[in-house]
């Protein structure tokens, strides 16, 4: 059943050290070696890895990093709006460093995830909300066949 999680609220701006155009430090998150590593794993191969996959990739360059830390770092990055978390039906969450407006297309056949650019995912597409609702965030997810798998089905 559901449990309320007490979680320290994300405290945004604190002093970072890195260059100004470094999104990690610019975001106000303290950039520890682990967080940087996790972020770089995401940036270097933008294939929407799961936490487990991020862990394996990060480990190859930083062998002592733990899975728990990867989860923590991903969580921090998501809260800092540097990374998007993509939730698909019944599978592990995936992570994506593309913060432009886009939606995700999930191929039912090969299970790959594709970024679909465009304004799907902007407030506009949400339509008119009934009075009183305060929208913070929206997410559009698409399902079907990717070009490759669609072609294979003649």
* By CB under 8 A, residue 137 contacts a copy of itself: yes
Q: Which does 26 bind (CB under 5 to 8 A by kind): DNA, a copy of itself, none?
A: none
Stretch that binds a copy of itself, among 8-16, 20-28, 66-74, 144-152 (CB under 8 A): 144-152
| DSSP calls for 90-132 | TS--EEE---SSEEEEEETTT--EEEEESSBTBGGGG-PPPTT
For residue 39, the 8-state DSSP code is: H
Residues 55-94, one symbol each (x = binds a copy of itself by CB under 8 A, - = not), give: ------------------------------x-xxxxxxx-
Q: Cα 84–25–73 angle (5° rounding)?
A: 45
If you compute the radius of gyration of the chain from its CA atoms, what whole number of angstroms results? 17
Residues 84-103, one symbol each (x = binds DNA by CB under 7 A, - = not), give: ------xxxx----------
* By CB under 7 A, residue 13 contacts DNA: no
Q: Count residues binding DNA (CB under 7 A).
A: 35
């Amino acid at each position: 059943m559901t449990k309320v999680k007490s979680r320290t609220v994300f405290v945004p701006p604190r002093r970072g050290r890195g260059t100004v155009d470094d999104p990690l430090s610019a975001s106000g998150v303290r950039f520890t070696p682990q967080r940087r590593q996790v972020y770089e794993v995401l940036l270097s191969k933008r294939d929407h890895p799961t936490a487990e996959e991020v862990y394996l990739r990060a480990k190859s360059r930083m062998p002592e990093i733990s899975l728990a830390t990867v989860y923590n770092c991903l969580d921090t990055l998501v809260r800092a709006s540097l990374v998007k978390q993509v939730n698909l039906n019944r599978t592990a969450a995936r992570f994506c460093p593309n913060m432009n407006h886009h939606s995700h297309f999930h191929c039912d056949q090969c299970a790959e995830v594709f970024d679909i650019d465009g304004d799907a995912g902007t407030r506009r597409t949400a339509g008119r909300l009934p009075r009183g609702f305060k929208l913070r965030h929206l997410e559009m997810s698409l399902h079907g066949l990717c070009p490759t798998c669609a072609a294979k089905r003649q």
